[in-house]
Amino acid sequence: MKSEMAAVSENCIMEQRLNPLTGQSEWIVVKLQSESEVDKYDDFGALNERGGSLGHTLYLDMLNDVERNSAYDQAIRKVVAEGAHHVLDIGAGTGLLSMMASRAMRDAVQSRQLENEGDAVIASRVVSGKVTACESYLPMVRLARKLLRANNIGASVRLVHKRSDEMEIGVDLSSPADVLVSEILDSELIGEGLIPTLRHAHAHLLSPVARSVPHRAVLYAQLVECDYLRRRCDLSGCEAEVDDGLRLDVSKSREWYSGFSRAMHVDPLVSHLKVLSEPFEVFQFNFCEVPANHREHALNVPITNSGNVHALISWWKLDLDDEGTITYSTAPAWTREGIVIDGEITGDNVFGTFLETM
Ligand SMILES: C[S@@+](CC[C@H](N)C(=O)[O-])C[C@H]1O[C@@H](n2cnc3c(N)ncnc32)[C@H](O)[C@@H]1O
């Protein structure tokens, strides 16, 4: 999730690396032991050096995010109370959402048994649901197995070490699931393969009327002027630092970085940026529907402040339940930057096309 997150917390980060043997990207836990390693992050928490890594995430921050966890727990309880026989958890990680689903199913059974107390026949017919979970990253699978056992949930969750698109009904799942739970979102919302994963799940793993936690997501954005963000994507002036006889032509650096996006906390930048538009909705994403491979959204954004558009910052909001009463948002933290334009605004509107694609 949220790769290349900013501030270094507890000096421990998850780092996504390319495995040269398998060609696959995988996540490893990296402990930053020395000051110099912590110094790889600049004052705003962005990574200064890339090395062989593809991205960083504060997995532990995510697990400690009480607001996120409690929103998921409430929404899972709600969907299970409305009736769920088989929950599929895609991207189980530590197994947290599977444990929530298993607990919600056990509680739902107990409360139905209490309601039916005295009617032994009905009570005996109350069947507990099942949870199938999949996780592609082996160290996480091992950790999840330990945690499921430690929480006495081992038997009620079937954990499969596979990518969801390798799973099959009759092999990995006994039947199509009627509830999907997942948290395979990144800071761009759909960047972690959400579209192909959901397309496969709806076609092969879920019942046609399956519900999902989260139910829907909305991506928001805002145009800003921010010299710090501009400088991260504009190398003009850096030639002077090269003193080994080689001359790097950086005159095209703005072109190279055009449309480049990076996940980072924008909060520390607040006093360094000027907002040029109100936040606007870019697109909505419904997890209960088969997503299209590619959609384009043409938007006209009214400008509220004059200045130079250096970046587009964006964030998303989840409606965890279908009524939109249980929500979670990454605003204003965990947003991203993407340099889109570099020029003075002369009119009242900026027109742009946003791509939602796999
Ligand atoms: C952001 S973590 C979420 C973990 C856990 N569900 C939670 O909410 O705490 C996402 C996990 O999904 C796994 N993942 C992503 N896409 C997957 C897929 N299609 N099939 C199986 N695992 C996947 C990643 O390896 C990662 O461990």
Cα–ligand 1 centroid distance for 143 (angstroms):
13
Assign 243 a pLDDT band (cuts: 50, 70, 90): low
> Taking 90 as the threshold, does the pLDDT of residue 173 lie above it?
yes
Answer yes or no: do 347 and 240 share one domain. yes
Answer yes or no: do 244 and 196 share one domain. no
Look at residue 335 in the predicted model and tell me its pLDDT: 43
Radius of gyration of the chain, Cα coordinates, nearest whole angstrom = 23
Q: Which of 26-30, 42-46, 182-186, 261-265 has the lowest mean pLDDT?
A: 42-46
Helical ranges in the chain per DSSP H? 35-38, 59-63, 66-81, 96-115, 120-125, 138-150, 194-204, 227-232, 253-257
Q: Pocket of ligand 1, candidates 13, 87, 136: which has the most ligand atoms within 8 Å of its Cβ, to mutate?
A: 136
Look at residue 15 in the predicted model and tell me its pLDDT: 62
Answer yes or no: do 74 and 168 share one domain. yes
Final residue before a domain boundary, out of 167, 191, 213: 213
Ligand 1 pocket, 93 CB below 6 A?
yes
Query: Which residue's structure tokens are 């994403």?
Result: 285
Answer yes or no: do 202 and 281 share one domain. no
Q: Which atom of ligand 1 is nearest to the CA of 181?
A: 6
- Split into its structural domains, the chain has a count of 3
Look at residue 311 in the predicted model and tell me its pLDDT: 84
The mean pLDDT of the chain is: 79
CATH of the domain at 89: 3.40.50.150
Final residue before a domain boundary, out of 64, 93, 117: 64
Q: Which atom of ligand 1 is nearest to the CA of 200?
A: 19
Answer yes or no: do 105 and 193 share one domain. yes
Look at residue 64 in the predicted model and tell me its pLDDT: 85
Final residue before a domain boundary, out of 189, 213, 237: 213
Strand duo 206-213 + 274-275: pairing: unpaired
- Could you say which of 4, 15, 135, 183 is catalytic? 183
Ligand 1 pocket, 92 CB below 6 A?
yes
Answer yes or no: do 238 and 342 share one domain. yes
Answer yes or no: do 151 and 197 share one domain. yes
Is residue 192 part of the annotated active site? The answer reads: yes
Output phi, psi for 254, to 5 deg: -65, -40
Q: Which atom of ligand 1 is nearest to the CA of 197?
A: 19
Assign 219 a pLDDT band (cuts: 50, 70, 90): very high
Cβ contacts of 135-141, under 8 Å, gap ≥ 24:
135/91, 135/92, 135/93, 135/159, 135/160, 135/161, 136/91, 136/161, 136/162, 136/163, 136/164, 137/26, 137/27, 139/27, 139/28, 140/27, 140/92, 140/93, 140/94, 141/92
Structure tokens at 248: 């790097």
Assign 100 a pLDDT band (cuts: 50, 70, 90): very high
**Average of pLDDT values for 261-275?**
80
Answer yes or no: do 300 and 197 share one domain. no
Answer yes or no: do 199 and 227 share one domain. no
Answer yes or no: do 90 and 20 share one domain. no
Cα–ligand 1 centroid distance for 268 (angstroms):
28
Per residue in 279-299, pLDDT (tens digit) is: 999 999 999 999 999 888 888
Ligand 1 pocket, 199 CB below 6 A?
no
Cα–ligand 1 centroid distance for 158 (angstroms):
15
> Taking 50 as the threshold, does the pLDDT of residue 126 lie above it?
no
Answer yes or no: do 33 and 145 share one domain. no
Query: Which residue's structure tokens are 């945690």?
Result: 147
Cα–ligand 1 centroid distance for 122 (angstroms):
38
Look at residue 188 in the predicted model and tell me its pLDDT: 81
Is residue 183 part of the annotated active site? The answer reads: yes
Query: DSSP class of residue 291?
Result: P
Structure tokens at 188: 């761009």
Cα–ligand 1 centroid distance for 263 (angstroms):
18
Ligand 1 pocket, 316 CB below 6 A?
no
Answer yes or no: do 278 and 200 share one domain. no
Assign 16 a pLDDT band (cuts: 50, 70, 90): low
Which domain range does residue 153 map to? 65-213
Q: Which atom of ligand 1 is nearest to the CA of 193?
A: 16
Ligand 1 pocket, 143 CB below 6 A?
no
Look at residue 271 in the predicted model and tell me its pLDDT: 82
Look at residue 27 in the predicted model and tell me its pLDDT: 62
Look at residue 110 in the predicted model and tell me its pLDDT: 83
